[in-house]
Amino acid sequence: MSNPHAWRFSALAFLLALLGSGILFQMVRIQTDPQARAWLVEQDPYNGAWVTYYPARGEIYDRNGNLLAGNQTIYEIGVDLQAVRDPESVALAASVYLGLDYNRTLAQITEPAEGILYVVLADHVPPEQANKLIELQEVLMNDPSGQSLAGLRFVPHLERSYPEGALASNVIGFTTREGQGYYGVEEKYNSLLAGVPVTLWVPSDPNRAEELPDIPPGATLILTLDRQIQAAAEETLDSALQTYGARSGVIIVMDPQTGEILAMAVTPRMDLNRYWEYENIFVGETPFNRAISQAYEPGSVLKVLTMAAALDSGTVTPDTVFLDTGTIIVGGGYIHNWDGGAWGYQDMTGCLEHSLNVCLAWTAVEMGADTFYGYMQSFGLGRLTGIDLAGEHPGRLKLPGDGDWYPIDLGTNAFGQGVAVTPIQMVMAGSAIANEGRMVYPHVLHAIVQDGQQRAMSTQIVGRPISPETARALNQMLVESLSNETSLANVPGYTLAGKTGTAQIPTAYGYDPRQTNASFIGWGPADDPRFLVYVWLERPTASPWASQVAAPVFRQMVEQLVVLMNIPPDDIRLQAAGGE
């Protein structure tokens, strides 16, 4: 006869087996699952601690592979108080090799605060300095006199380094010892360069410590800068400041077809390895990068934009004739030419060639405020270009309806007075004329290298403020204007397009004729532009006129560019193109 309770015993046995299997599974899971094991050990703070590991900061290179920002190994030097045998020798060595106070160091070792087992003597010690102490420690290990540096500990870690010192410093920016990027590329791309920190549970028992995972470094950045062109631009700018007595200056070189910044030379500059000297170099309101952060009244270089608007809107053609009497009334105010003279009958090329304020003011009046300011906004004036550098300034374009806009501003803005732009804004706007109406986004990032893959940045067209026909017509007008008037900017063998700009500097009491901003914008070769150069010299003392100070700087820069970029003279280049 079967036991009527047998099914109960079977069910109970099954449940117990299931429970045992669950306990066994959980034991195995705890032994193999890192999160479960970490949870157990975390309950006992004496078992270890959570430690955050920061990856190596990504490196920065120029377009040709020259290192502009990298990392170097430095040392934290400290003392393990439990391992010290000869505190006097340790204090003496720290005094001699680290420049520390002997008595203070000895007190730190022999009279530590309660519970202190490790004392940091110095950090950010260069390898060559730390190596001397390491070698001395090894020599004294078997010293019969009993002298010993036992207890000295050397903890290596990485610190940002800039092998080129001050070269392109205003573009690169710097990273502090805390790992935070400031200004330029270092700030703009700080998250990419810094990488992703990893937090791990580290057991206090070294016998239980597992090998740390390989933490991938931050992204590597390849810039559009060309080191050779950047160095040439900085040397040219420094020479110009000395020759012409200018207070500061900017030279920008951009590929007008792609928007890639090949060079951005700015003053002042600083050795990025000594970033803590920043406040001594950039005093007061001095911006870190004038090319993107300082707006100024550009003067006649802006006339190229006014003429572009007048041509594109159909207000004038290159052959339109204007009778220049030397004066025009706009909004109840009188506007005169730069020399106070009357130039008689001029076509629009002549107006550009002789840089006639009256003529350009007339074209703006003929267009009307809505059309004129609509074009200026399309060229990006009064707005950020979006360049990938930290600290850009939007400039200021007053518009009808603003509280400080007056009808006369329509006339003065037409020749670059009463409107504030940054050099990078003028470079972006100028690209539309050099690039058949296509205005390109200026940028300094060429490619990103991350996780073993390289991703290149593509050319971005940010607008088409004028038609290709307008751009070609104006380009030819500027070629003629430059070849006829501004001879100091010309380079034999090359056809260039460009325009000078001399602007009196506004003060609280009006414009000061003794102080000017001298600028030049130009590009070449005119039929197929490979470079666009913008020059700005602030308050030159040798001459107030851009044709005398900014134009020669443009020429000097172009003379180097055609060599560095391997651009043959026009006749050779066109002959080679025709033979293909």
Residue 561: name the closest of 236, 269, 246 by CA.
Answer: 236
Residue 362: name the closest of 397, 391, 326 by CA.
Answer: 326
| Cβ neighbours around 278 below 10 Å, total | 15
Pairing label, strands 220-223, 60-61: parallel
With a CB cutoff of 8 Å and minimum separation 6, the contacts of 361 are 328, 330, 335, 410, 411, 412, 414, 415
φ and ψ of 130, to 5 deg: -65, -35
Find out whether 289 and 391 touch, Cβ atoms under 8 Å: yes
Written as tens digits, the pLDDT of the chain (580 aa) is 455 556 565 666 667 667 777 677 666 665 566 565 555 555 555 556 676 667 889 999 999 999 999 999 999 999 988 889 898 999 999 999 999 999 999 999 898 888 888 889 999 999 999 999 999 888 888 777 778 898 899 988 889 999 999 999 999 999 998 889 999 999 999 999 998 877 766 665 555 545 556 778 899 999 999 999 999 999 999 999 999 999 999 999 999 999 999 999 999 999 999 999 999 999 999 999 999 999 999 999 999 999 999 999 999 999 999 999 999 999 999 999 998 999 999 999 999 999 999 999 999 999 999 999 999 999 999 999 999 999 999 999 999 999 999 999 999 999 999 999 999 999 999 999 999 999 999 999 999 998 888 999 999 999 999 999 999 999 999 999 998 865 799 999 999 999 999 999 988 778 887 899 999 999 999 999 999 999 999 999 999 999 999 999 999 999 999 999 999 999 998 887 764 4
Burial class (CB in 10 A: 0-12, 13-18, 19+), 150: middle
Residue at token pair 């003028």: 426
Residue 463 β-bridge partners: 439
Pair of tokens at residue 113: 């605060």
User: What's the CA gap between 484 and 535, in Å, rounded?
Assistant: 20
Which H or E run contains 292? helix 290-293
Residue 502: name the closest of 309, 305, 338, 304 by CA.
Answer: 338
| Domains defined for the chain, CATH in brackets | 72-163 (3.90.1310.10), 227-579 (3.40.710.10)
Residue 122 β-bridge partners: 77
Find out whether 191 and 218 touch, Cβ atoms under 8 Å: no
User: What's the CA gap between 415 and 299, in Å, rounded?
Assistant: 6
Cα-based angle 412, 417, 422 (whole degrees, multiple of 5): 140
| Cβ neighbours around 517 below 10 Å, total | 24
Residue at token pair 């007061």: 284
Pair of tokens at residue 241: 């400041």
The DSSP letter of residue 566 is T
What is the pTM for the complete model shown? Answer: 0.87
